[in-house]
Amino acid sequence: MENESPSAPLREWYSVGFDDRAIALRVSPPNGIAWEEIISWERIIQVCFKTGDWMESDEIYLFTDERPESYVIPTEAAGGRALWSEILARKLFDAKMAIQAATTTHELFCSPLKDAPREPEAVRLSSPSQLPDLEGEMLHLEWDQIEADSIIRHRDSIVWQEKTGWEVYDRFEEIAAILKQKYGKRLTDLVPTTRSFYALYGDSTRAALRVSVVRQALGQEFREEQRRKRSLDEVHLSRIRSYLRTALDCEEEYLHEGEMSNYMRSYASDAANELDSLFRPDGPFGAEIDCCVEELSDPVRIRNGRSKQLLIQLRENSRPILNALANSTDPQLRLFALEAAKTSTNPLYFSPLCGSIDLERRLLNDPDENVQIFAISAVKQTINHNAGYSDPK
């Protein structure tokens, strides 16, 4: 077989040059295709060296972050020795290893670059210890996105940043859990910015709900503590009692001057709105519920419909109160709870005030026969209503 290696001396067809910015390779083999390459010093991630025997050239192997293969540069090429000296001067190859490599033939020695500028590895948040300490009784963090990076901010400082990509609501949940471990009940929310929506939600129909559930859970512990403190505040409880009595007993109206027109409003309706606002977002708690049950349980208010009307005005905030009434020792109050819970809040379709059948199921075995009968009737109504969705005619 004919030897395909070029007969011309290596220095005549392989030359190496370099300056402060890059290395230039010019190769024109007599029997092959000529090529040139510019290698930036900054792109080099590893240098290897192999010493040849007396018949072979020593070889430099340059690895860059731009391709998996190395560039092989014989030191016998024009400028090859000068390049090797420059590599050693730049400390791109360990000096002690260079001595060992020079005295060992046909063995490849590689020296990873300690200070080579390479693409930073993607560091994922996996432990609370990776997060900084933050001051404040209540922490309201922000979830931002710049290109493929998700960024957690607290005011003007970056708490954490990592490469996440697209449709990252699962990662949002994981990071939120680690943030919760670090900051505890002080963490009340992790709010996505508008520009993070595309990467956070992607095309998933589940993403918005998942993110909403995570955010709701983050502030739950803090809100419950605030509710406990609030429910023990006598001034706050006195204010609730005042609103309750106005909402349940007041008949007076007044002329309200609106932006477009004037119209009559009632003090009772205003008081109900104030109560609804006070109880948001998690409903009444502890002593607040006790105040509501005490005022709503008045027989006169139940008979004239004011108690039920107020419960309807409180909407979902009425559910803890209805549960408390359903647990009353008075069977009449348990009946009232069932009746009020099944009241539809929409004139166009059935939308019960308290849609859960847990309350009904609990009262199916009530010791009072009248409560049992009403509970059975309420359960049937719920089952028939739900059947309309599962088996439409």
* 96 occurs within a structural domain: yes
SS3 217: helix
Region of residue 267 (left: phi > 0; alpha: psi -120 to 50; beta: else): alpha
DSSP 267-294: HHHHHHHHHHHHHTTT---THHHHHHHH
Q: Which residue has the higher pLDDT, 99 or 258?
A: 99
User: pLDDT at position 8, please?
Assistant: 72
Q: Which pLDDT band holds residue 1 (cuts at 50, 70, 90)?
A: very low
Q: In the predicted model, what is the mean pLDDT of residues 242-270?
A: 88
pLDDT value at residue 346: 75
Residue pair 61/50 in contact by the 8 Å Cβ criterion:
yes
Beta bridge partners of residue 142, listed in sequence order: 153, 191
What does the radius of gyration of the chain's CA atoms come to, in whole angstroms? 38
pLDDT > 70: percent of the chain: 89
Q: CA 390 to CA 388: how far, in whole Å?
A: 6
Whether residue 211 contacts residue 270, with contact meaning beta carbons closer than 8 Å, is answered with no
Q: Which residue, of 168, 199, 218, is where some domain finishes? A: 218
Distances (CA, A) of 122 to 95, 125, 178, 263: 31, 10, 18, 62
Q: Given pLDDT bands bounded at 50, 70 and 90, which one contains residue 339? A: confident
Q: Does residue 228 sit in the same domain as residue 347?
A: yes
* 22-40: average pLDDT: 89
Q: For residue 93, what is the domain's CATH number?
A: 2.30.29
Q: What is the mean pLDDT of residues 13-27?
A: 91
Final residue belonging to a domain, choices 172, 198, 218 = 218
CA dist 305 and 55 (Å) reads 109
Give the model confidence (pLDDT) of 36-64 as tens digits. 999 989 888 889 999 888 778 889 999 88
Tell whether the model's pLDDT for residue 379 goes beyond 90: no
The pLDDT of residue 258 is: 75
pLDDT tier at 359, thresholds 50, 70, 90 = low
Where does the pLDDT of residue 347 fall: very low under 50, low under 70, confident under 90, or very high at 90 and above? Answer: confident
pTM score, two decimals? 0.47
20-34, 205-219, 308-322, 360-374, range with the lowest pLDDT: 360-374
Distance from C-alpha of 57 to C-alpha of 79, rounded to nearest angstrom: 13
Question: 2 falls in which pLDDT band (50, 70, 90)?
Answer: very low
DSSP string, 107-131: -EEEEE-SS---PPP-PPP--GGGS
Is 22 part of a structural domain of the chain?
yes
Domain tally, the chain: 3
Q: Residue 284 has which token pair?
A: 């009444």
370 shares a domain with 235: yes
In a domain, 121, yes or no: no
CATH number, domain containing residue 171: 3.30.420
Q: Which of 153, 136, 221, 142 is nearest to 189 (CA)?
A: 142
User: For residue 32, what pLDDT band results from cuts at 50, 70 and 90?
Assistant: confident
In a domain, 117, yes or no: no
Q: What angle do CA 255, 261, 264 make, to 5 degrees?
A: 25
- Any bridge partners for residue 153, and if so which? 142, 158
Q: Which of 87, 112, 137 is the last residue of a domain?
A: 112
> Mean pLDDT throughout 19-31?
89
Helix pair 369-390, 331-341: axis angle to 10 deg = 20
Q: Does residue 169 sit in helix, strand or coil?
A: helix
Same domain, 205 and 283: no
**Does residue 168 contact residue 221 with C-beta atoms inside 8 Å?**
no
Q: What are the tokens at 93?
A: 């190859």
Of 132-141, 261-270, 374-383, minimum mean pLDDT range: 374-383
7 has pLDDT over 70:
no
CA distance 183 to 133: 8
Q: In this structure, is residue 265 part of a structural domain?
A: yes
Q: Is there a single domain that holds both residue 198 and residue 100?
A: no
Q: Give the residue among 9, 41, 10, 49 at the shortest CA–CA distance from 23.
A: 41
How far apart are the C-alpha atoms of 195 and 129, rounded to whole Å? 28
Instruction: Say if CB 297 and CB 337 are below 8 A apart.
Output: no
In-domain check, residue 74: yes
- Asked whether residue 189 is domain-assigned, the answer is yes
What is the pLDDT confidence band of residue 180, given thresholds at 50, 70 and 90?
Answer: very high
Q: Are 235 and 374 part of one and the same domain?
A: yes
Residues 140 and 19 in one domain: no
On the question of pLDDT at 248 being above 50, the answer is yes
pLDDT above 90 for 234: no
- Average pLDDT on 220-245 reads 82
Q: Are residues 147 and 186 part of one domain? A: yes
Instruction: Say if residue 175 is in the same domain as residue 134.
Output: yes
The answer on 278 and 374 residing in a single domain is yes
Query: Do both 328 and 378 map to the same domain?
Result: yes
Q: Give 266-308 pLDDT, tens digit per residue.
A: 999 999 999 998 887 778 888 889 999 999 999 999 999 999 9
Task: Tell which wins on pLDDT, 382 or 258.
Answer: 258
What tens digit of pLDDT does each residue of 107-159 get? 888 876 544 444 445 688 999 999 999 998 889 999 999 888 899 999 888 99
Sort residue 139 into left (φ over 0), alpha (ψ -120 to 50) or beta: beta
pLDDT single digits (tens) 217-229: 888 877 777 777 7
Residue 4 falls inside a structural domain = no
Q: Residue 5: what pLDDT?
A: 45
- CA separation for the pair 49, 47 (Å, rounded): 7
Say whether both 230 and 194 belong to one domain. Answer: no
> What is the domain extent for residue 213?
128-218
Residues 335-352 have a mean pLDDT of: 79
One domain for residues 231 and 209 = no
